[in-house]
Structure 1
Amino acid sequence: MENIVMKENEMKTNSIKRVGRSDFVNMGPIRLRQPLPTQNIDMIDPFILLHHYGPYEISERSNPFDLGPHPHRGFEPVTFLVQGEQLHRDSLGNESVVKAGDVQWTTAGRGIVHAEAPTKAFVKKGGTIEGIQLWLNLPSDKKMIQANYQHIKSEDFDIKSSEDGKVITKIIAGHLNEVKGKIKTQTSVNAFMIEAKKGGKETIKFSDSHQAMLYLLKGNVLVNGTDELELNSNQLIEFNSDGEGFTIEAKEDSLLLFLSGEPFKEEVATYGPYVMNTQTELLEAMRDYQMGKMGFLPVS
């Protein structure tokens, strides 16, 4: 799609490369949406995978979202919790309760074992869990760095409000204008959660060296004005790197996740919970996990 015709002093918007669906996939007992990868979009470098899980109704009779100890290596698994409450445990000794609006950013690096599940108190009282799980690749020279874990609470993030006051953008990582994210990143990346009330308008700018995407968790928004696209719930947009940013106008109350990053342009080899550059490195990862080199985490 071509860019909007510019008026004097107007921002040049990024055109839309493609629009992706978010079909359901099964992961063991869990059924969730997978906007990335799809049949048409393999990856958006440096983003490997995007899962939208829930909303699940959790109770003592039904608790499908209980992920026992499992390993990762070579990338950064990130959780944006939209609703509910989860307990995070890992082989570094971290244990924290992640609540709605919080973000947990794990740098798996050379290896980490972690587990995620609703807290026992949450299961007992019952409630809804919903979130986004992102797999952010690490470049080859950082795949074997020391593992690390960051948990930032919702209220600790800085935000940017639109001029009309109807759009709140939470700056999680990277920066938007002069507002910076609290997450310390290994690479050049932006992650914003955008909450828009009906009728709200906002402009989001990002580097033209980044590859970028926008995922709509709920609602309906117009992207780049009437010449571009009306985005519906559970659709993903991939932008071309040919502008300075994009505009949104909420046709109803909406929630969006924006991601952009500097592409690595490296070979990617994946198997299960590992993201490396070669098949040999994947075999080494499996061997190291079996030998306990990624640490240990008992079942709770």
Structure 2
Amino acid sequence: MKLNTIKRAGKSHFVNMGPIRLRQPFPTQAIEMIDPFILLHHYGPYEISKANNPFDLGPHPHRGFEPVTFLVQGEQLHRDSLGHESVVKAGDVQWTTAGRGIIHAEGPTKALVEKGGVIEGIQLWLNLPAEKKMMQANYQHAKHEEFNVIISEDKNVETRIIAGELQNSFGKIATQTAVNAFMIDAKAGGEQTIAYSNKHHGMLYLLHGKVTVNDVESIELDKNQLMEFHQDGDGFSIKAETDSKLLFLSGEPIKEQVATYGPYVMNSQTELLEAMRDYQMGKMGFLPAN
């Protein structure tokens, strides 16, 4: 296998989102987006209790893209204007296709707030092409134990296939575009090579630990935490220096004009204004606050 060369490696800086402090590897001044991925937030780990609950997001709208949550620790309650209500647990993934519009709310479960605990996760915004931006909204919740798992030859690396395909094994999530999402858990010393299409933009994000990529560059917390690949090979290899958790993402670039404002991702300013108007007119549904 020819390995993709590394295009760039960047830190995951902290930003403030209201009362929430979280890591935002992109967008930044250096990386506007990695088409088709618009935004990546790494939130937590937060200590949650009755006295401290910073991550409780009340009802808010989305249109034109797919907000995805990979929950690493804790429990979250998801509610939306389609009528879904589900408890998302550690290792689960919720994949929302906002399409023409959805209102959802998420935050720690009441049980987690009552007993206290830790919450941590990844929030990803995946773009939709113009032809699908106004499709019917949809919600998928896949549980940790439902994902197919690829185990490395040395038995030290487990790769969960959330979406897409790896070694003829497929993801649980049905996607609107050509995209891979793999959660990788590696024990110290574990090695694995992962193949994906050279038509995709690919990136690797480190949540915990330290790994060497392609035997040439290491990524660790606060140092080159996000690695983006050129489209010049067929995959990449990792070797874990310590116990590590990584998220691999790849997707075919959409190559369309992107216009964003708040919770909307469209193709033009006019469409953003239409989204705001439609939300105010109740066309994205209704979801009461708790």
Task: Give the TM-score, by structure 1 length.
Answer: 0.95
| CA–CA separation in structure 2 for the residues paired with 1:107 and 1:176 | 23
Shift of 1:25: 0.6
Pairs within 5 Å for 1:139-158: 139-158=129-148
| CA–CA separation in structure 2 for the residues paired with 1:25 and 1:94 | 30
SS in 2 for 1:93: coil
| CA–CA separation in structure 2 for the residues paired with 1:119 and 1:207 | 38
Q: Which moved more, 1:85-94 or 1:37-46?
A: 37-46
Q: 2:235 aligns with which of 245, 250, 262?
A: 245
| CA–CA separation in structure 2 for the residues paired with 1:40 and 1:90 | 34
| CA–CA separation in structure 2 for the residues paired with 1:176 and 1:203 | 11
| CA–CA separation in structure 2 for the residues paired with 1:230 and 1:186 | 33
Matched, 1:232 2:220: yes
Structure 2 stretches of 5 or more lacking a match? none
What's the counterpart of residue 8 of structure 1? none
| CA–CA separation in structure 2 for the residues paired with 1:293 and 1:206 | 39
| Corresponding letter in the other structure for 2:218 | E
- Describe the superposition over 1:170-214 as per-residue Cα deviations: whole angstroms up to 9, x where unpaired: 000000111100000000000000000000000010001000100
| CA–CA separation in structure 1 for the residues paired with 2:63 and 2:274 | 10
Shift of 1:39: 1.6
Shift of 1:20: 1.2
Pairs within 5 Å for 1:143-292: 143-225=133-215, 228-233=216-221, 235-292=225-282
Shift >6 Å, 4+ stretches:
none
Q: 2:58 aligns with which of 68, 72, 76?
A: 68
| CA–CA separation in structure 1 for the residues paired with 2:28 and 2:11 | 8
What's the counterpart of residue 13 of structure 1? 3
- Describe the superposition over 1:226-274 as per-residue Cα deviations: whole angstroms up to 9, x where unpaired: xx20111251001000000000000000000000000010000000000
Q: Which moved more, 1:32-41 or 1:163-172?
A: 32-41
| Corresponding letter in the other structure for 1:34 | Q
| CA–CA separation in structure 1 for the residues paired with 2:277 and 2:159 | 42
| Corresponding letter in the other structure for 1:174 | G
| Corresponding letter in the other structure for 1:79 | T
Q: 1:123 aligns with which of 103, 113, 118?
A: 113
What's the counterpart of residue 82 of structure 2? 92
Query: How many residues matched?
Result: 288
> Aligned-pair RMSD on alpha carbons?
0.5
Q: 1:106 aligns with which of 96, 100, 125?
A: 96
- Describe the superposition over 1:59-100 as per-residue Cα deviations: whole angstroms up to 9, x where unpaired: 001000000000000000000000000000000000000000
SS in 2 for 1:155: helix
- Describe the superposition over 1:275-296 as per-residue Cα deviations: whole angstroms up to 9, x where unpaired: 0000000000000000000000
What's the counterpart of residue 295 of structure 1? 285
Task: Give the TM-score, by structure 2 length.
Answer: 0.99
| CA–CA separation in structure 1 for the residues paired with 2:130 and 2:105 | 26
What's the counterpart of residue 32 of structure 2? 42
| CA–CA separation in structure 1 for the residues paired with 2:32 and 2:6 | 17
Q: 2:124 aligns with which of 113, 125, 134?
A: 134
